[in-house]
Structures are given as structure tokens and as C-alpha cells.
Amino acid sequence: MSGGDARRDEMPEIRQHTTIPIRVAQRLPMYHRHLYELPMDGVTHISSAKLSAYMGVTASQLRQDLSHFGRFGHHSYGYRVDELFHILTVILGLTRKHKMVLVGAGHLGRALANYEGFARRGFYIEGAFDIDPSVVGGKLAGIEIMPVEELAGFLQRSKIDIGIIAVPADAAQDVADTLVDNGVRALWNFAPRRLEVPQTVVLEHVHLSDSLMSLAYRLHKLDVCKNQTAYRC
Amino acid sequence: MSGGDARRDEMPEIRQHTTIPIRVAQRLPMYHRHLYELPMDGVTHISSAKLSAYMGVTASQLRQDLSHFGRFGHHSYGYRVDELFHILTVILGLTRKHKMVLVGAGHLGRALANYEGFARRGFYIEGAFDIDPSVVGGKLAGIEIMPVEELAGFLQRSKIDIGIIAVPADAAQDVADTLVDNGVRALWNFAPRRLEVPQTVVLEHVHLSDSLMSLAYRLHKLDVCKNQTAYRC
């Protein structure tokens, strides 16, 4: 779409109406995160080689991934960090605010509610719910915890984008149903339970144990392979 | 190594001393998790096509991934679930017990300590530490919380495999140093901070926000593309 190279003072055109391989989509948040961190180290411009090394991918992979969305980067000095950060912000749809509800005010729910990184990215918890009467009425990150029976009514009154499911496995499907039936189109599920949702709803399931198994596997490989790199024997 | 097909009553040979692409390694825990769940639905044997669909990969990807480790599956009926689960358990190094310490007894640390899925897979928290005197001496999942000053001494007395870092970002590198200096070779980091560790140490960094950004991206794509599949326009 954009005919020539991006120039210094012009924001390059961003193609968003494009089919993206799922693996590319999965790397975008990581790119965004690294681009947020770089200016903290005083980096404002960076070569493609250095940026990709910092992010743990190859330079050609980074270039290829970004090429789905347009022509970014400059022949002379690589990437402007602020520009590329903005581009990733647009691609990911983070230029707008996201409203969330949290269902489950246990330790995990509280940890999530207190995570400062979410508000910085425009993600706000607008309501928190729990089934436990001893918890209901208390506060969580400044928000009053409501009884879960009020979840449906709350969703009908408020436009909520994302439902966070931080309840025990047995309760997760019921919570998901209530969220979906009342217009929530994105679920962030922490319950160790496979959820059934309509195809029009997006679902991210956080499997913490996968990450621990992966760590164990790499430790095991260290022992099996008796050398310093985790995947090579 | 194994010359013929695996036979019904013989465990096929498992090649472990082999170089594995990192993406294959990342899928292994997911395979293991699904194979654990299948018998709960009464599934004991499953075709390659059905198993791969259940896992969300293609049949050829599943076959290719497993082929790094040997020749599994049976011409007539596909896979025996219990056998393949055992094979993945061996590959991942989960036949042995893993001892862990938890540093940081805040909400996240408590959520992790109470997660029952870890003990079932042979992962046990042997010690919990915090810097807050009002927390020290209390209990967490049945374990007494010790002052973080005692972490180094504890590690010298106990053989610990994995250190869980659930402290604020500012404290994470110090904790990582103490763990590594005292023989811990695997770190599971939840602090939003890039950690420097020797190459001989394996590090898994859980970026919860990446998962949320990915969810937001898929929601954004739904709106941009106005259809039902998240990555296709």
C-alpha cells in the first residue's frame, strides 16, 4: 500500500486488514513489551540486528513479521523506537481503553488486580465479583467486591470488553457463560479447565503449569545433554 | 534407533539425547497437559487426527514433533493415551520430584503455593520466604514463611531445583542472584523485570501482560476484520 520507504517525520501507513499467521500474532505482544522497555535504557534508535537480538528472534524473522503490516524501518539507522512502539500499539489495538471485570477475588484475582502494568496499557478493572460472603463488600485495588449474583446485571448496565476468570475450575464454565451471555466478547481464563465458548468470543487461557513444565524440561535437557544450551545436545 | 513400529505391550524407545527446535520444546507441556486430561473424558485410544485436533495443532505437526523422540503411535488405532502420556512425562523429565523455593509471599506467591496442579506433577515447595516481618512466621500452603535473610542458608542446606521469584520488580535481580549463587539452576520469574543469569541457569519468565495483549489483539482483529476468526481478514 505504501509505495516507498518510511521517512523520518511521517508515520508510515499501517495495514491492519490482513491475515496474520498465529505465531506472528503471538510474538506481537513481546515486541511491544520490549519496545516499551528500550527507552528506559536510553535507546531511541536501534538497528534491526540489535533490536532482534534484544528480542530473542532473528533479524529476518522480525523484518518478516513486521512486513505483514507495512514497510517500517529506515535504511540508514534501522528503527526509531518510539515510532515502532506506536506502530505496535496501533496494530495490537491498544490505542483505546479496555474495560474488564474480575470474577474471583482470591489470591490470584488480587494479584492481577494489583498488577500496575495493566492500567498503564489502558486496561482497567471496572468491577470485581466473588461468591464468598466474607469477601464481598471488601475492597480490591480500590474497587468494592460485589456478589457474583450481581454480575449479569452489572454487565447489562456497563459495556465490558474483557472478563477475567480467576475462580476454581468447577465454577469456571458457569462464569464464562454468564460473561458471554451478557455481551463480554473476550475471556482471560486462569482456571485450569477447558471452556466452551462461541466462536465469536476470543479466549486466552493462561496455563501457568505449562511454563513450569517448560522450565523443568530445559533443566532436564541440561542434565541429559551435559552442556550449556537448553535445546541442543 | 528403534527399528520397527512400537508394539502394543512394549514401551517404545525414547530418544532424549537430541536437539529440539525451541518451538517444539514449547509445545511439549501442552501435549502433556492434554494427554493428562483425555482419560478424564474416558478416552484411552485416539487417532492422530483426533488427538491433533483436540490439541489445536495439525496432525502432521504433532507427528513431526513427536518424531524427534522416536517412533510412537500404531498403524491400526493411532495412539494409546496412557502410553503417550508416559512418553511425554519421560521426555519432559517429570519422572522425578522437583523441589522448589518460593520467594515472595504476596498474593501471587500465595496463589502459586495453593495451586494443586503442581504437587500432582511432582513439584513441591520446600521453603517460602518474604521480606515483610508481618508476613514472616505465618503459614502459606502449610509451610512456615521464613525471613528472606535466611534464604541463602536454607539453599545451602537443601538441594533445591527451582526458585520461584514472586517479588516486586526492584527486588527480583537480588533474589535471582541469591538463588543462583546458592546452587539453584532453574528460575521461574513472575517479576516484570529482565533478569541477568549465567548461561548455565535456565530461566522462564512469565509475562502475564503478553497474554492479555494477545487477547486484546484478537478482540481488535474481530472488529477490524468483522468476521468470526481472529487471525483472518
- Alpha-carbon gap, residue B137 to A159, rounded angstroms: 44
Please count the other Cβ atoms lying within 10 Å of the Cβ belonging to residue B145.
21
Does any CB of chain A come closer than 8 Å to the CB of residue B17? yes
List residues bridging with B187 in a β-sheet.
B163, B203
Please count the other Cβ atoms lying within 10 Å of the Cβ belonging to residue B94.
20
User: Out of A107, A110, A202, whose CB is closest to B222?
Assistant: A202
pLDDT of residue B9: 58
Residue at grid coordinates 451471555: A181
C-alpha cell at A16: 491492519
Is B10's pLDDT higher than 90? no
- Alpha-carbon gap, residue A101 to A79, rounded angstroms: 37
Contact residues, chain B, for A108 at CB < 8 Å: 107-108, 111
Backbone phi and psi for residue B144, each to the nearest 5 degrees, phi listed first: -75, 135
Does any CB of chain A come closer than 8 Å to the CB of residue B208? yes
Does any CB of chain B come closer than 8 Å to the CB of residue A120? no
Distance set, CA B23 to CA A21, A194, A214, B68 (Å): 15, 23, 11, 12
CB contact under 8 A, A117 and B192: yes
pLDDT of residue A6: 44
Of chain B, the end-to-end C-alpha distance in Å amounts to: 45
Which of residues B86 and A16 earns the better pLDDT score? Answer: B86
User: Out of A220, A228, A231, whose CB is closest to B92?
Assistant: A220
Average pLDDT, chain A: 90
Closest CA to A148 of A107, A103, A188: A103
Which of residues B5 and B21 earns the better pLDDT score? Answer: B21
Segment B43-48 shows an average pLDDT of: 92
Interface of B with A in 181-200 (CB under 8 A): 185-188, 192, 194, 199-200
| Chain length of chain A | 233
DSSP-derived 3-state class of residue B125? strand
Closest CA to B25 of A53, A218, A24: A218
Q: Does domain A3-91 have CATH number 1.10.10.10?
A: yes
Contact residues, chain A, for B226 at CB < 8 Å: none
DSSP B78: B
C-alpha B177 chain-centroid distance: 22
Long-range contacts at A198-204 (CB < 8 A, ≥ 24 apart): A199/B228, A199/B229, A200/B222, A200/B228, A202/B215, A202/B218, A202/B219, A202/B222, A202/B230, A204/B211, A204/B212, A204/B214, A204/B215, A204/B218
Cross-sheet strand order for the sheet of B202-205 = B139-140, B143-147, B123-130, B98-103, B162-165, B186-189, B202-205
Does any CB of chain A come closer than 8 Å to the CB of residue B170? no
Segment B54-66 shows an average pLDDT of: 91
CB contact under 8 A, B93 and A225: no
Contact residues, chain B, for A40 at CB < 8 Å: none
Contact in structure between B166 and B107 (CB atoms under 8 Å): no
Least confident segment among B7-11, B53-57, B114-118: B7-11
Closest CA to A129 of A194, A198, A182, A203: A182
CB contact under 8 A, A210 and B30: yes
CB contact under 8 A, B29 and A209: yes
Contact in structure between B184 and B152 (CB atoms under 8 Å): no
Is A137's pLDDT higher than 60? yes
Radius of gyration of chain B (CA): 21
Q: What percent of chain A has pLDDT over 90?
A: 70
User: Out of A117, A199, A231, whose CB is closest to B25?
Assistant: A231
Task: Identify the residue among B37, B184, B204 best suited for mutation to test binding to A, counting A beta carbons within 10 A and taking the highest.
Answer: B204
Does any CB of chain A come closer than 8 Å to the CB of residue B120? no
Express each pLDDT in A44-76 by its tens digit.
999 989 999 988 899 999 999 999 999 888 877
CB contact under 8 A, B21 and A106: no
C-alpha cell at A210: 505449562
Segment A25-53 shows an average pLDDT of: 92
Architecture of the domain whose range is B98-207: 3-Layer(aba) Sandwich (3.40)
Backbone phi and psi for residue A122, each to the nearest 5 degrees, phi listed first: 90, 20
Residue of A nearest to B210 (CA): A29
What is the residue-wise DSSP string for B44-72?
-EE-HHHHHHHHTS-HHHHHHHHHTT---
CB contact under 8 A, A228 and B16: no
DSSP B14: -
CA distance B224 to chain A (A): 6
Domain boundaries, chain A: 3-91, 98-207
C-alpha cell at B32: 502433556
User: Out of B29, B106, B232, whose CB is closest to A210?
Assistant: B29
Interface of A with B in 130-159 (CB under 8 A): none
Q: Does the reported pTM lie above 0.90?
A: no
Query: What ipTM describes this predicted complex?
Result: 0.88
User: Out of B22, B188, B208, whose CB is closest to A231?
Assistant: B22
Contact residues, chain A, for B206 at CB < 8 Å: 208, 211
Contact in structure between A222 and A200 (CB atoms under 8 Å): no
Closest CA to A194 of B13, B106, B55: B55
Residue type, A83: E
